[in-house]
Structure 1
Amino acid sequence: MSQSLFGLIPTASTGQQWVARSMQLINWGGYHGFHEVAFASTATLLSGGSGTGKSTLLDAYIALTMSHTTPFNGASNGAASGRARGREQRNVLSYARGKLDEARVAGTSSSRDAVLRGDGTDTWSAIAMTWADQVGQTFTAVRAYYVPAAATRNDECTLVRATTDSAFDLRSLEPFATGRFPRGPLQERLGLALHDTDIAFTTRLHATLGIGAAGDGAKAMGLLARIQAGQQITTVDALYKSMVLEEPETLAKAQEAIDHFDELSEVREEMLTAQRQLEVLSPIVGLRQRVEAAREQLEVVSTLGVERASERTTPFAHWHDSRRLELARAQEVANRRAHAQAEERKVGLDAQILVTEREHEEVKDNQRRNGGDEIARLEREIAALEDALGDTEVRHARFEQHRAVVGVPVTSKSEFEALRRTAAAFVDSRDARERELADAVYEARAAQAEAVRGLETLDREKASLAVRRGNVAAEDHQARCLLAQAAGLTPDELPFVAELLDVRAEHEPWREAIGLALGGFATTLLVDADHLTAFRRAINDVDLRRRLRFEGVRTGLPVVEQADRSRLDGRLDVKHGPFTGWLTDRLARQFAYVCVDDPADLGKHAKALTRTGQTNDGSRGAHGGRGRPSVLGFSNERRLAQIDEERREATVAVAERRRDVEDAEAAARAFTDQFAAYQAIGGFAWDEIDVRGATRRVAERRERFDELAAGSDVLRALREDEQRLAARLKDLRTQSSRAAVEMERLETAWGTLTDEVDELSDGLAELEDAGVAATDVQVTLLDDRLAASGWDGGDLRAFTSAVAAMRADLVHAHELAAHDLQSAQDTLARTFERFVEMWPNPNLGTDPDDSYDDFRRILGEIEHQRMYSLRERWSRAISRLSGRDLTMLDTAIEQAVADIRARMEPVNEILSVLPFHDDAHRLRITATVTEAHDITTFRRELRALAKDVPDDATPVERERRYARMAKLLARIRPDSPERRRLVDVREHVRISAECVDLEGNHVSVYDHIAGKSGGESQELIAFIVGAALRYQLGDADAERPRYAPVFLDEAFIKADSRFAGRAVGAWRGLGFQLIIGAPLDKVSALEPHVDLVLQAVKDEVGRSRVQWVAAS
């Protein structure tokens, strides 16, 4: 029978138990060479002074049986920190070489280890432990290390992991150490089973030694490691949580939820990025349509040649001449028809005049026979006057044709005489007038050229600014580029001061004033002072028409920003870079202007500046120079926007100047017609065209004739007949005269038309021979435009006016199309530049034409593929996170609390059969849920978000849900101080121990260990941890644990003999084999309760050994 504290355990029991029989060491720490330490099957005390090697033996046990991530004992690493077994702590390399101390290398600040072995040479080390069960079976585990002299990490060593189902002499490895433990001989000659990985090795140990239930030996070994570490714990709660409870699954579930949320965030960010890209690129289709429409309009108008008024070899000229020829020929036919009708009308009228004249003569003869010679005389005078009236009417009609050309109304002799004087002066001033008109044409053309140059200047400036970010003049930039190229620098490495300064947004109204105050300093180039000599040498032969100032400055100086916003330098932002420190210092020293709104305040400061740019420098000052573009700024976007506005105004000005040229040229062409008209007007006399005067004289003679005829009834009757015939004759003559005038006019017009038809026909023939002709599309366009102008098919003069108006409209449309094209292309380019700046891609250009297809393809992919795919992924991800991950986290938290209580049941079952203090009492572990308000609200929000997302949820609802998830999960991220409190369910319960009687009635509670005596606390720890270890080892229902060894380092250091005995008895009563490490002053308290006492000692050179002291 085998005696235990709580009863007899049958030696023949079928419950197998493995106890540690012995440990073998070769070259481990201070244990130089071979050492073997035997253990009692019950309890062994390992004592010794500080640093003699107690913890070294216990660390050997950890190195042999546990994972490489398990830290060595705190007694040997208490002053170190860092990764387990890292360079900062005791590790396999330091143990294998037998590290003694560190010593400084002579003459250096570095140090090196003082070691027992392996100093500049290879060495090796090995550990083995043999276990035995109650029927005599043995099992040995071996780890061996071959350590090269240059090794600094464990993975640079040769590692052997081996097991054997028998005892093993570790010294048998020595012949194989020099060969770095070849695999074949170890297996064949020594009979060792080799394991390639820690997992395979520990799996074999756990399976053979019965460590852990259902193959879960890692948890049991982890608990053994925590027990061996001997942590100082003050409460039962902390004891149970640190020793017994592993990290709950809730932390892993929380991390899974966070990982999936981060994936969701990535999808969301991709979706938002795609949305931003869509917003940036969505206008490009409309802009491209504007570009194509503008180009089509430009193509149509440009191919017509309407804007080239002086050219006669354009499709527009062909259409114009064709339509004018058609109109001229139609008018020619109409002219001949009208001439024939007028001629026919005149012949008929002349015949009627002859008949009426005979009748009139007969009546007058009768009058003479009845009235005498006086009537005959009056009749002759009247006839002469009527002939003169007809001539006057003809001359007046001719005069009216010329007067209509000059457009001066004439209703009296004085107005006629004034017109004649004007005509004489006009004819006399022909040369001067022609020079005046020529000067007007020249001035109009000069103004047009100036406007075109202004537009071209803006275009050149825009082109220059488009390829850089600064605002300095293009000539300065080009000169700077030449200097930079000669010096082997980039333009950015040779900045202008202006490019490093910008006016703060809140002080934008001061931009012009600040630029004026800085003056030429703003266009000074800055050169690194260290490279100034080389720079001067490199640029000396560069031929520059533009003179640039440069200054060598120190780089990397400390930056002292001006906080006073009333000063000029306080209203500037300085671009951070190598020149920033120097520039802030120069601004503070040289340009310390105080900005004042009232010029009366200028004298109140040593240096001051007004908003209009006036400066005060003591007795000196400066003013003026406003209106020039500012050169300050990190970016030229503001200037580019100004240029666009100025270009629009300049384009309008160019169009206006072009119309001025056309008007001046039209006035010059009209001068010839006016000169001919004025010259003809000078040949008329007033009496020759005074129709009213001639009419009055005829009326006076007729009145006299009527008076004579009224004296006789016969004469009165004859007079009435004569008046009737005279009136008819007058009317016929008038009509005949008008017909003659019309015939003459038509004849003259026909001659002009004939000449024009011939000229137009010849011109069209030449155009067609030269291949110049308007296409059907162009003809239709121009015909429609002409009809839209309101022309309804009038004469050639109306056609000329209508065409001029239509041509002006087309030129204006051309200008608008050109402006719209440029505007749309500029907007496209800026859109592409913005896209590339926000999402850099070396394969994408920014040319509005060359790169459009690439960006259109990207837009199409976003619209039709990426956005749909990302929205689908977003919906699935947020649904999965809600329906799966958050639900699993909530369930895991719920389950983990239940698991803590469930795991207490087998521990309490073990404790229920172990007497605590005496046979009438037992120890019981209890758990109380202590969820605080923050945990409760967290769980409530978690359950709310764990509900499935409705399929019909709107994007806004999903986004709102995402924001709630982000807020919730931010509280449980690894860097959150709330993480453990919220998801580590160990924080949700309070663990305590209570003493109960055999009926389970409460007797007393054990909450704080620190309030107990050393022995009482160790006894309490032994009961709680020992019972948990029995459960963890998978032996809760067995009479004894299958794996018995428990190593305790620095244990029972506060216990007296009685309570130490009770604590040791508790462990032994649970069936465990104890190996206790304790200092020398605790030997007397522990010695009565152990069966073997060993002592570690160390000699003067640092070599340790273990010697036997007492045995039971």
Structure 2
Amino acid sequence: MTSTLFSALDAPAESHQRTGYRLQTVEVFNWGTFDKHVWNLRLDSQTSLLTGDIGSGKSTLVDAVTTLLLPAHRIAYNKAAGADVKERTLRSYVEGHYKSERNEATGASRPVGLRDHRSYSVILGVFANEGYGEQITIAQVFHQKDRTGQPDRFFVTASAALSIDPDFTAFGSDLKALRSRLRAGGADIDNTFPDYHRRVRRLLGIRSEQAMELFHQTVSMKSVGNLNDFVRDHMLEPVDAAPKVKAIVDHFENLVKAHEAVRTAIDQLAVLAPLVAAGDRYDDAAARHAGLTDQRSAVVPYLAERVRELLDGEIGVREGEVTALESQRADVDRRRADLVPIRDRLKLERAGVGGDRLKELDVEIPRAGLERDSRADRRRKYDALLQGAQLAPVEDAADFLSRSEEAQLLRGRLDERLGALKDRRDPLFVQRTDLRRSRTAAQEEIDRLRDGRSNVGRDLDRVRAALCDALDLDTDELPFAGELLDVRETHAQWRGAAERVLRGFALSLLVSQEHYAAVSEWVNDHRLGARLVYLRVPERRVRSIPTARSGRRLIDVIDVESGAFADYLVAELASRADHVLAESVEELRREERAVTREGLVRDRDRHEKDDRRSALDPRAWVLGRASEQKIAALTEERDRHDDDLARIDREFEVVDADAAALAGLGRALTGLEQYGAWREIDTAEASAQLTALETERERLVAGVIRARRDRSSARGDRRAGCRAARRSRRGDPATRCCAR
């Protein structure tokens, strides 16, 4: 509890602007004995003391202020002078009664006034709110039409400062013209006091009717009989306590019932605890039983699968043996088929020498030569494919069959190696993409910082630039809080802690009241592509009195840049950076709000330490405008990314070389699959067939020559015999011999 009636905010220093409406000026015209001139009392929103001789008009001015704020039927005029209740009335003030005249004939007296029905009266008050630069005017205009009764009047309110002269003068003799002129000037006119009273309360911000009642009771008060009764009757709002008491009693009964229910539930839980534990043990046993049952059920399929794998292997071996036997049988069939012509030819030779066989050999020998050349070419290609597949050369049909099986095995392993190569390549590709993106981001941030841009980050800087371009504003008119705050060089060791505590506030855009509406409309109408927090900075703030602090605080190591936002930032730091700079965890535990150099932040019962980045990593700093350390850290990060990219490029070269080798192996295996039988590349067999045909032809040609020679010799012998016979038997036709 404070020992004074008013707080420090209610009694500010002279330099501090006052907020709230205070009476600034009172003006009267033709009011009481203030006649024919405008009388002005300037209070200048100060607490004033009105003094003067008896009858100088002090109560008259007080009654004018009272008339402006209270209805006439509730006002006790001239109460300040201690006069009788009926001594003065509203009519006496309007007509200007100043004495009484006595009628000698009747003995009655009547008041004498300074004015008649041809004049009018005006009372006016101006209230000012210096804290917000606002002024309002309330006034009443009176006109006494009849000789008896109360005067007619209308009520005026305006949201600006008015004066009797000239606002209520020089309008002629018709008050309707005055009404019209006031309305044209923006004033509101009411004909009844209740409407006028509601408007006055709204303009002055008087929410409670009790405040007007208190004013009515205290105006011109000289003494208070019982202070308790006065406060209870006039200063406190009437309230019916019975419902609240009933609600408290009902709430207490509900709390008792709830407490009993909680106790019952606790007792029930204690009884059920062994049952719950038994149920948990049963669930565990059931889970283990189900697992063992599943394992037992999987034994038969597992054994069947293993048997199937073994049989598949055995079948593969037997199929390979069958293939080898079929190949041998095909070779035997081919050799047998090749022997059939030889057998037939030998039969022909046995029947006679030569014949058409030489013609057949002239056709078969070139064909056999082409077959030998074709097999030799295919053999060279086959040997090259074997070398490409890194397989041993072949010499016979058994080697060919073995290489075919080895090629099939390599084909199966090739897919596995290609899959493994892809598993190596894909992570490298992802790493390279991420590193390139991070490297580009770091370089862009370095370029942006070297251009003198803000530490708050690229996205927020982009959003602010677009906002300033759209509203034709300079970036200094919409600063981020972090740009105006920095850690003092002498306390650089606490920068990490300051960054942890103030990061959210530092990334907030400061928007003055002048630009608040335009900024809010632009932000609402555009998709920002980033998270933006902005704070409205009011034009005027109630100055808070700083509280006494013990020990070094975070606010003590923060510099605030001078300018339009300096006072606002200082006030915000008083609540946001009121952390004790704790040298140890023990000191942290003793304080309500504290922070360590390592970045552990305590705010009463809440503790936080965000180690996703080091507290000493300049890349995440957002306070201040200097960026040399941040640029150096980003440059180091960029160089590290360059080294990682070079290493990944070298790994890519190795992977690409392995991929090229596997591609060559795949092409070689695909080419080997085109050779289905050993005979297609058996050059020895083709050469042997060609040699046999050539030998046969030579043999047949030699036999034909020998046969011709024998036949020629036989014919010569026959001719010689014939010639001898002719010589011995000349002229004998029976012994003629004709050599044919």
Q: TM-score range by the shorter chain?
A: 0.3 to 0.5
Query: What's the TM-score, normalizing by structure 2?
Result: 0.33
